[in-house]
Amino acid sequence: MKKIILTFFTITLFLSAYAQKRTMVTYFKKGMITENKNNYDYRRVIEETDTPSIYRLYEFYPDNKEKTLATISKFEPNVVYEGIFQGYNKQGILTSTVNFKKGVLVGECSYYYDNGKLENVFQYNEQGNNPGKQQRKWVTGIDSLGNQFIKDGNGLYKKTDKSGLTEEGNYLNGYKDGIWKGASKIASYEEVYENGIFKSGTSTLADGKQIQYDKMEQQPEFKGGMPEFYKYLARNYRFPAEAQRNQVNGKLYISFVVEKDGRLTDYEFKNSLGYGTQEEAVRVLNECPKWIPGNQHGIPVRVKYNININLAQR
């Protein structure tokens, strides 16, 4: 009887040090990997370099205009960026020049409008001794009409986004400072910051109920953390018999939404291994114990989450 092995992280190794530099090409449609080379949003090319564990990443639109130029240190299970990253829109105009260290933004990063004019400059700091402080320092902010509202880290921020959320407050030396106020369709809130450190917040719901909170944002979490979630998957995923007969091996890339009550919904598969592997993943996720939901401004919110399941048998 074949022994079935479920793992959740893999590393791809280039097998021969004497082989020519390897090149990998992947096509994407709506953020998901596609095998259709005639209908895709962009293609990704990853090339080996002369430096071990360092690769060049290029992304191109279908008309061969550049989308992304970057250096990476890993590409499985996720891409980890290193150094300068440049992004371009479909017109070939530079829209961002940022810096990464081990997949985390660091240093000065600049963002541009689609017409190429400067929009924002941020300074990203490595995590220091004060994890409560914002790691992004705002240096320059310019609106679409060319008016500069953040200069040398100081100024008044006031904006309404596409969802209708309004927010207003002051920046001092690059960080939120003082009283900040905001309002959405379901609640209004008032928060206190001191030199970029969140101090306290109060949300007021439409019915007048008030919620006090000590964290501005909280990501959803499986009880016990992600190691426990992967243990749950390993214990409960049943490798389909048809997949065993066809010797299926590979990764399932899945996204789902953690609902306000902690349920998992809206599953999306970025690829397919067939033979019932996708249906079994849905079953296991449907039966998953409820997560601790995410929240913003003290209010539970729906949050999209991405995972990958690696299936192998031998």
- The tens-digit pLDDT sequence of the chain (314 residues) is 444 444 444 333 344 444 567 899 999 998 878 889 999 999 999 999 999 889 999 999 999 999 999 999 998 878 999 999 999 999 999 999 999 999 999 999 999 999 999 999 999 986 544 445 568 899 999 999 999 999 999 999 999 888 888 999 999 999 999 999 999 888 999 999 999 999 999 999 999 999 999 998 999 999 999 999 999 999 999 989 998 888 888 888 899 999 999 999 999 988 888 898 999 999 999 999 999 999 999 999 999 988 888 887 65
Helix (H) or strand (E) holding 120, with range, is strand 118-124
Query: Which amino acid is it at 155?
Result: G
What pTM was computed for the model?
A: 0.72
Cα torsion angle, 201, 226, 79, 43, sign: negative
Contacts (Cβ under 8 Å, ≥6 apart) of 186: 205, 206, 299
DSSP letter at 208 equals S
Could you identify the residue written with the tokens 């499986």? Answer: 222
Task: Give yes or no for a contact between 273 and 237, defined as CB atoms under 8 angstroms apart.
Answer: no
Structure tokens at 59: 């992304």
How far, in Å, CA of 42 to CA of 36, rounded? Answer: 11
Q: Are strands 23-29 and 4-7 parallel, antiparallel or unpaired?
A: unpaired
DSSP letter at 228 equals H
Whole-number Cα distances in Å, 66 to 39, 57, 87: 17, 11, 8
- Per-residue pLDDT at 72: 97
Helix axes 226-236, 277-286, angle to 10 degrees: 120
- Please tell me the CATH code under which domain 226-313 is placed: 3.30.2420
- Per-residue pLDDT at 13: 39
- Per-residue pLDDT at 133: 53
How far, in Å, CA of 56 to CA of 110, rounded? Answer: 21
- Per-residue pLDDT at 11: 33
Could you identify the residue written with the tokens 């260290």? Answer: 101
Terminal CA-to-CA distance of the chain, rounded, Å? 10
Whole-number Cα distances in Å, 224 to 135, 178, 237, 263: 27, 35, 19, 16
Q: Are strands 250-258 and 264-269 parallel, antiparallel or unpaired?
A: antiparallel
How far, in Å, CA of 164 to CA of 278, rounded? Answer: 37
* Phi, psi torsion values for 228, nearest 5 degrees: -70, -35
How far, in Å, CA of 59 to CA of 65, rounded? Answer: 9
List the one residue out of 160, 166, 205 whose CA is nearest residue 183: 166
Task: Give yes or no for a contact between 22 and 13, defined as CB atoms under 8 angstroms apart.
Answer: no
